[in-house]
Structure formats: structure tokens, C-alpha cells
């Protein structure tokens, strides 16, 4: 894959280390300097020195914006803008990039408001085919994170009242944004650390590459690697917001390409009951990071002499810039929540448009509900109602027959939890740190229980108890009637977007600490643990066996009583020994066959008893969600924007449906209707029995 043209690309890197009213950040100087060196390195990207602008603590707002303007003026391929320093937010949740004289009580003074930077990038960089923004600061997710909505191109043009006639040919234009933290989260530069932790992980990947990932690396590949490493050490979750294919296009050379992995085949534990796992080992700087989080420090260090200001390079050559046009439709890729304001939760029984791909089986659409923001979790169907959480902070109740909204319950942050509905109560988690119970008929809150961090996991409700994990490294058992805590079990890292399975008096779930656990459902006492690698897959249990996706692109079958491994299967297409590559799909067992999706683009059917492959179907992209298997058909979504209906016996495609965006979660089938969510913003109801209209 060809990399961006270095002759027509440019980078502006801003690192603010010395502050007059805020804590100094000496690690920022080293981080931004090393980033600049790597971008110039021909083994990484190879930008000419004069096309990398490095700004330090003495840079003013006008200096920063002027440097971005000048760099963008001669840029027709890729424009990269990077900032590291303190991040501030005001009461209206606007992000400010703190400059040297910034005041956290008055963030609008001596800071750079992120929307100003975004506008300059959009206007001055309108000729650039690709624009990459990286922010390493607190609250950086406010810039537009993974929960931001995405509209089709005509909708964007209409929203911005632009003609968009400057659109480059080929459709590979656009932008992506990487941020070190969610919109409500902090970033860290612990005392004594060489670099801020997010920047340090970026540097790690640029310096050493990713084994067996191919000759080039995309922004998305790098983000996934960085995200997994940070999550396993208990750091805030970095965010990515991308538009079109920009995040997936080759950006830098992969320095690990062609080198043998330096680690042994992972995740093999001895048979029998595994010992209690230790927390994942941390590098020395990671230990410092953990200590920093314990003491509540964020992107700050212990008092030290202020770092010297960085040299201020001269402006790029070619100061005679073309006339800057009005803002183009492409700048809207960072608008996120502003775009979502168009929504309002209205069902639309209309056909969709999605780029230039063919659009098969659009006539299957019964209705489409606009949830105003990204939908990362699967819907739940109960008593004729669809329940789904959205990135716009709402849990929606939607009439399953018509797609009309019945009610919406507002939380304090985005919802990545798939709800459970039991006895007229809806249970779910929110990134605002709470587990909620609301009445299914009215949406009125019954109770809430606060945890230490975001709750992205999905609950299992069994025997009057709600079992749910959180990002505060705990699995909880809560009283379903009152929300009171019965017990909690500490893990070594996040319990991510998984739903535990409760069967035979045991609770089964995986964690990012690489262990899969079996706990006593009544007491929370550990029965056994088995190492499968970092896991975001919801398990399933059948016939004395627990099935779950784990690390190294593998699915595991474990003895439910003892935790001993019966078998494991590793994907056979685009297979990799990359420890960070995992199966997040939740396996489903039906009639002796286990069905599961993989990051290698395939859907697999495996013999549930032996793990032998029966068939594989390759989609156009990664498969994160699990399948639904009903009536001899496997329904499963892919990041190629399509929902597939496959013959369960042979893997042959029966039909597919193209949505507006990626499908990260599992579909649900009820009464000849399949319900599926896209990471754009829509819930779809598709008729599984419809016949193609005659032409």
C-alpha cells in the first residue's frame, strides 16, 4: 500500500511543557521532539525537515494557527497536526488546548479553542486529501471521538450549505482524529516518565512497528495497538474518529515487517485449574503511570524546573498561498455531535445511500430509526419493544413493529452497554459510571448504582441479581430490586464490552487482564481462571463447555467445571501472531456447531466438540459482533457496512444488506425481523422473509 506523498505532505507538532499557572509537563518536550524525528525518518515516513514544523511552550495562539495555515497551504496529500499539553474544558464542554499562560479557571484565556484549530485545518487545508489530528491532553475526546455520528456526503453538504465542488477524484479524501482520552477523561504524564503515556505508545509503534501487520501501517492499525496496550495497563481509553477510508490507508512504514516475533506463542496455560493470574506486567514507566493515576495527577508531574522552550522553525517555503475558499463539506467529519442535532430519534422508512457500493436487498427494510449518534452495542427485544443505547447518552425504547420512539432515558454519558430486560425492568450501564434500572413501560428510573469508572459491559440478570463488569477493574453483583451491591470481584484490568454468562451457579467472563474467570454466583469467590489473552468477547455456555473469543485471533472451548482447555481454534485467513489481535465476536452454539466472527474478516463454523472447521465465509472487513442463528441461517454484521445472512450448513451467502456505516455489534432476530445497529447512528429492522420485488 502506497504511503502519502512526502513531497506534498506536512506536519505541525505543538508541545507545551512549561506553564505559568498549571503544572509543568517536561515529558511533553521529549515526546514531541521524538515524534518529529520519527516523522522525518525514512524508515517511518520520511517527511523533509522543512515540512515538519515544531512549536514549543512559547508558541501563542496566533503562532499555532499561523503555522497550521502555512503548512496546509502547500499540502495536497496529508496534513498532520499534533498537540500535547494540558487540555481544559468549560461548562459548555468545549475543549481548549492550554498554552503557556492558560488558566484552568478561565480556559478561554490564553488557550486555543479546539474549534478554532479545526476551522483552520478545514479551511486552509481544503486541498489536502487526508488530514490527521492527534491530541494528547485531558478531555481530548471532546474533539470528536468514536461515538461521533457520520452522515452520507449529500447530507453533509446540505447541512453545511456547500456545493463541495472541490472534491478530489477517487473518494479517498477526509480526516481522522486520534485522542488520548474520552471526552470526560484525563490523560497522564507521570513523574519520571520519559513521554506522556499516549504519546509514548505512539512512539513505541512508530519505532518498533507491529509484527506481521504488513509493510505499512494505517492510523487505525496504530490506534488499535495503542488502545489495547493502554487498556491492559488501566489507562484511559484513547478514541478514534474517522471518515471514509482515511484511517485505513497506509500512513507509515512498518518497521517490524519481515521480522520474526520476539515473543513465544501466547496464551497457552497448563491444563487443570489455573492459578490466580497476576496483573499484567508493566514497563517501568507504566508503573509510574499507575502511581500517577492513584494520586490523581493528570498530564502533570512533580514540580521540576521548567523545560526550555523548543526552537521555533521558520515558516514553510511558499508563503504565497492560494485564496482560501469557504469551508468545504469535508470539514464536517469532525462535527460529531453538531451533526447529531439533526436527528431527534425519528424513524424513517426510506432507502439508504452509502457511497458508490452496490446496495443489495434494500427492499428488505421495514424501518430505520435515527438514534442521533453511534450505536456500538447490540439491541435487546422484549415484549414488542427494541431497547438500545446511543452515543448521544440516551437509552431508547422503540416500537418493534413501526420503529417509532416510545421513550428515551438520558444518562450522563454515552451508552456502550447492551441492555437486559427482566420482569418489566431494563438494566444497562453507562460511561457516566452508573448501572441503571429503569421501568420498561415508562422509562422512569428505578435505581442507579455508581461504580468507579465507565460501565461499557452488558448485564446478565439471573435469580434476582444483576451481574455486570466495569472499567474500574471489577465484576459486580447487584440486587436487581434495589441496586445494592452484593459483592464485587477485582480483576487486573478492564472488564470491557462483554456480557457474562451465568449457569450452574457460576459467573463466567473475560477481562483485559488476559484471564477468563469462573466465580461463585452467590459469593463472588473465584472457582478458576484460565489465560486466553485480553478478551472483549461475551461467552456462551452449552453442554458443560464455555466458549469465548480471546487473544491471538483464537476462540477457546473450556471445561465449565474445571477451566481446563478442551480446544482452541485460530483463524486461518490473514492470521497473525500479534498479541493485540483478538476475537471480540461472541460465539453462538447451535445444533453442535459453534459460529463466530473474526478480525481476519471471516465468519467461522466450527465443530463445537472438536473445534474442527466446517466452513468459513470471508466478508469485506473485520467482524466484531457475534452472530444470531435462527432457522438454519446465520445473521452477522461486518465492518464492511453489511449484514450477512449465511446458510448455517454450508456458509453460502443467502443475502446481504448494506447499512450506512460499520456494524460493530450482534444482530437480534425476532418474528422474521432482524434488528441490527450501525456505528453511524441507525437501528435497522429488516424483513428476513421478504421476496425480491419483480422488476
Contacts of 588 (CB under 8 A, 6+ apart): 540, 594, 595, 596, 626, 627, 628, 629
Q: Report the C-alpha gap between 636 and 43 in whole angstroms.
A: 39
The domain segmentation of the chain, as residue ranges, is 8-256+275-305, 343-687
Q: Which residues are registered as beta bridge partners of 603?
A: 597, 617
What is the dotted CATH code of the domain comprising 343-687?
2.130.10.10
Q: Which residue in 218, 222, 221, 142 sits closest to 179, CA to CA?
A: 142
Q: What integer is the mean pLDDT of 264-279?
A: 36
Q: What is the pLDDT of residue 341?
A: 31
Most confident of 33-37, 123-127, 190-194: 33-37
Q: Which residue in 200, 196, 192, 198 sits closest to 303, CA to CA?
A: 192
- pLDDT value at 197 more than 80: yes
Parallel, antiparallel, or unpaired: how do β-strands 52-55 and 87-89 relate?
unpaired
pTM > 0.85: yes or no: no
- pLDDT value at 345 more than 90: no
Parallel, antiparallel, or unpaired: how do β-strands 174-179 and 130-136 relate?
parallel
- pLDDT value at 10 more than 50: yes
Phi/psi at 429 (nearest 5 deg)?
-110, 165
Q: Report the C-alpha gap between 543 and 135 in whole angstroms.
A: 48
Q: What integer is the mean pLDDT of 547-565?
A: 94
Instruction: Kindly indicate the confidence band of residue 195, based on its pLDDT and cuts at 50, 70 and 90.
Output: very high
Phi/psi at 65 (nearest 5 deg)?
-65, -35
Q: What is the pLDDT of residue 82?
A: 97
What is the dotted CATH code of the domain comprising 8-256+275-305?
3.40.50.1460
Q: Which of 304-318, 355-369, 567-581 has the lowest mean pLDDT?
A: 304-318
For the chain, how long is the longest CA-to-CA vector?
77
Distances (CA, A) of 343 to 149, 347, 518: 10, 10, 42
Of residues 71 and 551, the one with the higher pLDDT is: 71
Q: Which of 219-233, 285-299, 312-326 has the lowest mean pLDDT?
A: 312-326
Q: What is the pLDDT of residue 243?
A: 52
Q: Which residue in 597, 491, 495, 606 sits closest to 545, CA to CA?
A: 606
| pLDDT more than 90, % of the chain | 55
Distances (CA, A) of 491 to 7, 235, 280, 530, 628: 49, 14, 11, 13, 30
Cell numbers representing residue 654 in the block: 443467502
Cell numbers representing residue 65 in the block: 494557527
Q: What is the pLDDT of residue 320?
A: 29
Q: Which residue in 455, 377, 370 sits closest to 411, CA to CA?
A: 455
Q: What is the 3-state secondary structure (H, E, C) of 283-324?
A: CHHHHHHHHHHHCCCCCCCCCCCCCCCCCCCCCCCCCCCCCC
Q: What integer is the mean pLDDT of 96-113?
A: 93
At 82-94, the pLDDT tens digits run 999 999 998 888 9
Q: What integer is the mean pLDDT of 589-601?
A: 94
The mean of the pLDDT values for the chain is 80
Residue 689: alpha-carbon gap to chain centroid: 33
Q: What integer is the mean pLDDT of 451-478?
A: 95
- pLDDT value at 671 more than 70: yes
- pLDDT value at 116 more than 70: yes
Q: What integer is the mean pLDDT of 300-318?
A: 34
Q: What integer is the mean pLDDT of 466-484?
A: 97
Q: How much helix, strand and coil, in percent to the nearest 5, is found in the chain?
A: 15, 30, 55
Contacts of 259 (CB under 8 A, 6+ apart): 209, 211
Q: Report the C-alpha gap between 535 and 524 in whole angstroms.
A: 20
Q: Report the C-alpha gap between 263 and 176 in whole angstroms.
A: 32
Q: Is 159 exposed, middle or buried (0-12, 13-18, 19+ CB in 10 A)?
A: middle
- pLDDT value at 169 more than 50: no
Instruction: Kindly indicate the confidence band of residue 284, based on its pLDDT and cuts at 50, 70 and 90.
Output: very low
- Residue 195 DSSP code: S
Instruction: Kindly indicate the confidence band of residue 257, based on its pLDDT and cuts at 50, 70 and 90.
Output: confident
Instruction: Kindly indicate the confidence band of residue 567, based on its pLDDT and cuts at 50, 70 and 90.
Output: very high
Of residues 239 and 320, the one with the higher pLDDT is: 239
Q: Report the C-alpha gap between 497 and 231 in whole angstroms.
A: 12
Q: What is the pLDDT of residue 239?
A: 87
- pLDDT value at 326 more than 90: no
Range 361-395 burial, b when 16+ CB lie within 10 A, else e: beebbbbbbbbbbbbbbbbbbbeebbbbbbbbbbb
- pLDDT value at 27 more than 80: yes
CA distance from start to end of the chain: 41
Q: What is the pLDDT of residue 692?
A: 78
Cell numbers representing residue 338 in the block: 453538531
Q: What is the pLDDT of residue 361?
A: 72
Q: Report the C-alpha gap between 28 and 280 in whole angstroms.
A: 26
Q: Which of 301-310, 312-321, 607-616 has the lowest mean pLDDT?
A: 312-321
- Residue 62 DSSP code: H
Do the domains 8-256+275-305 and 343-687 sit in the same CATH topology, yes or no?
no
Amino acid at each position: 500500500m502506497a504511503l502519502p506523498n512526502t513531497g506534498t505532505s506536512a506536519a505541525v507538532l505543538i508541545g507545551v511543557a512549561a506553564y505559568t499557572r498549571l503544572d509543568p509537563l517536561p515529558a511533553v518536550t521529549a515526546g514531541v521532539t521524538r515524534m518529529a524525528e520519527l516523522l522525518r525518518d525514512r524508515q517511518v515516513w520520511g517527511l523533509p525537515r522543512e515540512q515538519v514544523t515544531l512549536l514549543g511552550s512559547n508558541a501563542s495562539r496566533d503562532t499555532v494557527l499561523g503555522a497550521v495555515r502555512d503548512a496546509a497551504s502547500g499540502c495536497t496529500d496529508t496534513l498532520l497536526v499534533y498537540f500535547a499539553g494540558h487540555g481544559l474544558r468549560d461548562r459548555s464542554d468545549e475543549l481548549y488546548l492550554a498554552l503557556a499562560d492558560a488558566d484552568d479557571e478561565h480556559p478561554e484565556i490564553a488557550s486555543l479553542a479546539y474549534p478554532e484549530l479545526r476551522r483552520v485545518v478545514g479551511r486552509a487545508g481544503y486541498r489536502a486529501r487526508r488530514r490527521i489530528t492527534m491530541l494528547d491532553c485531558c478531555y481530548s475526546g471532546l474533539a470528536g471521538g468514536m461515538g461521533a455520528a457520520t452522515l452520507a456526503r449529500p447530507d453533509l453538504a446540505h447541512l453545511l450549505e456547500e456545493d463541495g465542488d472541490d472534491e478530489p477524484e477517487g473518494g479517498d479524501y477526509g480526516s481522522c482524529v486520534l485522542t488520548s482520552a474520552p471526552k470526560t477523561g484525563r490523560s497522564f504524564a507521570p513523574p519520571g516518565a520519559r513521554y506522556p503515556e499516549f504519546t509514548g505508545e505512539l512512539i513505541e509503534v512508530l519505532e518498533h512497528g507491529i509484527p506481521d501487520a504488513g509493510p505499512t501501517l494505517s492510523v487505525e492499525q496504530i490506534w488499535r495497538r495503542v488502545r489495547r496496550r493502554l487498556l491492559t495497563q488501566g489507562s484511559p481509553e484513547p478514541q478514534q474518529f474517522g471518515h471514509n477510508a482515511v484511517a485505513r490507508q497506509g500512513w507509515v512504514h512498518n518497521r517490524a515487517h519481515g521480522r520474526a516475533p520476539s515473543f513465544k506463542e501466547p496464551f497457552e496455560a497448563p491444563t487443570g485449574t489455573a492459578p490466580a493470574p497476576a496483573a499484567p506486567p508493566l514497563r517501568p514507566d507504566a508503573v509510574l503511570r499507575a502511581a500517577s493515576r492513584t494520586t490523581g495527577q493528570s498530564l502533570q508531574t512533580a514540580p521540576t524546573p521548567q523545560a526550555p522552550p523548543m526552537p521555533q522553525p521558520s515558516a514553510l517555503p511558499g508563503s504565497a498561498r492560494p485564496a482560501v475558499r469557504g469551508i468545504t463539506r469535508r470539514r464536517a467529519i469532525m462535527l460529531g455531535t453538531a451533526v447529531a442535532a439533526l436527528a431527534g430519534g425519528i424513524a424513517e422508512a426510506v432507502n439508504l445511500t452509502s457511497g458508490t457500493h452496490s446496495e443489495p436487498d434494500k427492499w428488505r427494510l421495514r424501518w430505520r430509526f435515527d438514534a442521533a449518534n453511534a450505536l456500538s452495542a447490540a439491541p435487546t427485544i422484549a415484549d414488542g419493544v427494541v431497547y438500545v443505547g446511543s452515543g448521544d447518552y440516551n437509552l431508547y425504547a422503540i416500537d418493534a413493529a413501526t420503529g417509532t420512539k416510545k421513550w428515551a432515558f438520558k444518562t450522563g454519558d454515552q451508552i456502550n452497554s447492551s441492555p437486559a430486560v427482566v420482569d418489566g425492568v431494563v438494566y444497562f450501564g453507562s460511561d457516566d459510571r452508573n448501572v441503571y434500572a429503569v421501568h420498561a413501560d415508562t422509562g422512569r428510573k428505578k435505581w442507579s448504582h455508581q461504580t468507579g469508572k465507565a460501565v461499557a459491559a452488558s448485564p446478565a440478570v439471573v435469580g434476582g441479581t444483576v451481574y455486570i463488569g466495569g472499567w474500574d477493574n471489577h465484576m459486580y453483583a447487584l440486587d436487581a430490586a434495589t441496586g445494592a451491591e452484593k459483592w464485587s470481584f477485582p480483576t487486573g484490568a478492564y472488564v470491557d464490552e462483554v456480557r457474562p454468562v451465568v449457569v450452574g451457579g457460576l459467573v463466567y467472563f473475560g477481562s483485559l487482564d488476559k484471564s477468563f474467570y469462573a466465580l461463585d454466583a452467590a459469593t463472588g469467590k473465584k472457582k478458576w481462571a484460565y489465560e486466553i489473552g485480553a478478551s472483549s468477547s461475551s461467552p456462551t455456555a452449552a453442554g458443560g463447555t464455555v466458549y469465548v473469543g480471546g487473544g491471538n485471533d483464537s476462540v477457546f472451548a473450556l471445561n465449565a467445571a474445571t477451566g481446563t482447555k478442551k480446544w482452541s481454534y485460530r483463524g486461518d485467513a490473514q492470521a497473525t501472531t500479534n498479541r493485540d489481535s483478538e476475537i471480540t465476536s461472541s460465539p453462538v452454539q447451535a445444533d453442535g456447531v459453534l459460529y463466530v466472527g473474526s478480525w481476519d474478516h471471516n465468519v467461522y463454523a466450527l465443530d463445537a466438540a472438536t473445534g474442527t472447521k466446517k466452513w468459513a465465509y470471508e466478508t469485506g472487513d473485520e467482524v466484531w459482533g457475534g452472530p444470531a442463528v435462527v432457522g438454519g441461517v446465520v445473521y452477522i454484521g461486518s465492518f464492511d457496512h453489511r449484514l450477512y445472512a449465511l446458510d448455517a450448513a454450508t456458509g453460502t451467502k443467502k443475502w446481504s444488506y448494506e447499512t450506512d456505516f460499520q456494524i460493530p455489534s450482534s444482530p437480534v432476530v425476532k418474528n422474521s425481523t432482524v434488528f441490527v445497529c450501525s456505528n453511524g447512528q441507525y437501528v435497522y429492522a429488516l424483513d428476513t422473509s421478504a421476496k425480491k420485488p419483480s422488476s
